[in-house]
Amino acid sequence: MKVEGRRWKVEVAAVLLMAPTAWADELSSKSRLEEVVVSATRSDVPRHKLTKSVSVVTAEDIRNQRADTALEVLRNVPGVFVRRSGSFGRTTSVVIRGSADDQVLVLIDGVEVASPTLGSFNFAQLPADFIERIEVLRGSSSTLYGSKAIG
């Protein structure tokens, strides 16, 4: 009798210990993460804590604009002006706050892509489908990138 009584107690204890794990909530995969600007200070900083003038355009923003090229996206960024030399597909550059086009540093995946002869980047052939995010730094935050990043 004693053995059966102990066995019954062990079985009840096992069932009671397993119950909390059986009713545990699953993790929600729909949690929204806070947007982080990486390159403005060359470290991960939440966008709302930045003291510098930074504009961030995400892939979702680009889809919502239904833009075909990077130029169509950049036209909507404050302080950015598109300068086109000729017809569609010709050399097109971007100017920030009145600087020259060779004073705007363009990095794609952290690599400078300016023309060695002109000193500027031709945005005419850059499709918006390939863009994950665009960060535009203005003012003193550009000093982190050297003398070519005046705009």
Partners of 45 in the β-ladder? 37
Residue 41, pLDDT > 60, answer no
Token pair of 129 as six digits: 């489908």
Q: Rounded to two decimals, what is the model's pTM?
A: 0.62
Nearest one of 108, 54, 62, 101 to 82, comparing CA atoms: 101
Q: Phi and psi for 7 in degrees, rounded to 5?
A: -60, -40
Averaged pLDDT for residues 36-52: 61
Residue 5, pLDDT > 80, answer no
* Domains parsed from the chain with CATH numbers: 36-145 (2.170.130.10)
pLDDT at site 46: 66
Question: Residue 9 belongs to what H/E stretch?
Answer: helix 2-22
Are 82 and 71 contacting, i.e. CB atoms less than 8 angstroms apart? yes
Q: Phi and psi for 8 in degrees, rounded to 5?
A: -60, -40
Is residue 65 helix, strand or coil?
helix
Percent of the chain exceeding pLDDT 90 equals 1
Give 60-105 pLDDT, tens digit per residue: 988 999 988 888 888 888 888 888 776 666 777 888 887 887 788 8
Residue 47, pLDDT > 60, answer yes
Residue 14, pLDDT > 60, answer yes
CB burial of 13-32 (b: ≥16 within 10 Å; e: otherwise) equals eeeeeeeeeeeeeeeeeeee
Averaged pLDDT for residues 42-68: 77
